[in-house]
Structure 1
Amino acid sequence: MATLVWQAPMTYLSAGDEAAFFTWLQSIPGVVAVRGVGRELHVSLKSRRISQASLRELIALYSRFGGRLSELAQFENTSNTTWFRSPAAIWYAGVFAEVPDSSVEEASSGRAHRPGDVARLED
């Protein structure tokens, strides 16, 4: 089982917007439970292996309602990596920016750097 955690605050523009969020979320195949835990919303999924359609729905839902796209990286597998990890995909930076991959390099300082890291000058 996989669990996604939405952090508060979640912003809805109306009661209908909130209803649309929960209706959409609960309609995604593989989602088995949605419950509030403190200021978090825990979304339980049947498995980490979800269909392409379900993963695309989660990407769309997270994008529309401001979820942390990086949580979705856990669903990458050999059958979806080609399209899911494509640098041309609009979600790529949000999903994979924080996930180490083969582009991580060791700098002379011994600290790992990824593309996009900000260099700091030392005094």
Structure 2
Amino acid sequence: MKLMIDLNSFYSAGDERRFFEGLGDNPAVSGYRGIAHQLQVSIVQKHLNHDTLRELIALFYRYQIPIAPLAPLAENKRFAWLADERWYWHQSMIT
């Protein structure tokens, strides 16, 4: 699964480093690369579980990256909890 995300500006080199470390530390992320002004994030779905997905959502949310590219996962029974509007990311996912 490939996600295309728009990156916002980072506040410092350390801030940018921590973002990419967060991506690299997530077992569900197999890689990433910049394409124009976007970042393509490669996800290995067999490594995607509740914890790895929550970490990815938290990382995106922390860096104000819309999580709308993750919305199709909510159609999967295993990730139906993503669509629950009580979660803090819900609004970000549907916009």
TM-score range, shorter chain: 0.7 to 0.9
More relative contact order in 1 or in 2 (CA 8 Å, sep 6+)?
2
Distance, in Å, in 2 between the alignment partners of 1:48 and 1:11 is: 31
Q: Which has the larger radius of gyration?
A: 1
Q: TM-score, normalised by structure 2?
A: 0.86
User: Deviation per CA, 1:67-107, whole angstroms, max 9, x where unpaired?
Assistant: 121111122221231x3221211111221x35xxxxxxxxx
Q: In 2, distance between residues paired with 1:49 and 1:94? A: 23
Which secondary structure does the structure 1 equivalent of 2:2 belong to? strand
> TM-score w.r.t. structure 1 length?
0.68
Give aligned-pair identity as a percent.
31
Q: Secondary structure at the match of 2:23?
A: helix
**Pairwise CA distance, 1:48:** 7.5
Change (3 A) 1:85 1:30: same
* Distance of aligned partners of 1:48 and 1:68 in 2 relative to their CA distance in 1, 3 Å threshold: farther
Deviation at 1:33, TM superposition (A): 1.1
Task: Calculate the aligned-residue CA RMSD, in Å.
Answer: 1.7
Q: Moved runs in structure 1, 4+ residues, more than 3 A?
A: none
Q: Could you tell me which runs of 5 or more consecutive residues in structure 1 were left unpaired when the two chains were aligned.
A: 99-123
Question: Aligned residue pairs: how many?
Answer: 94
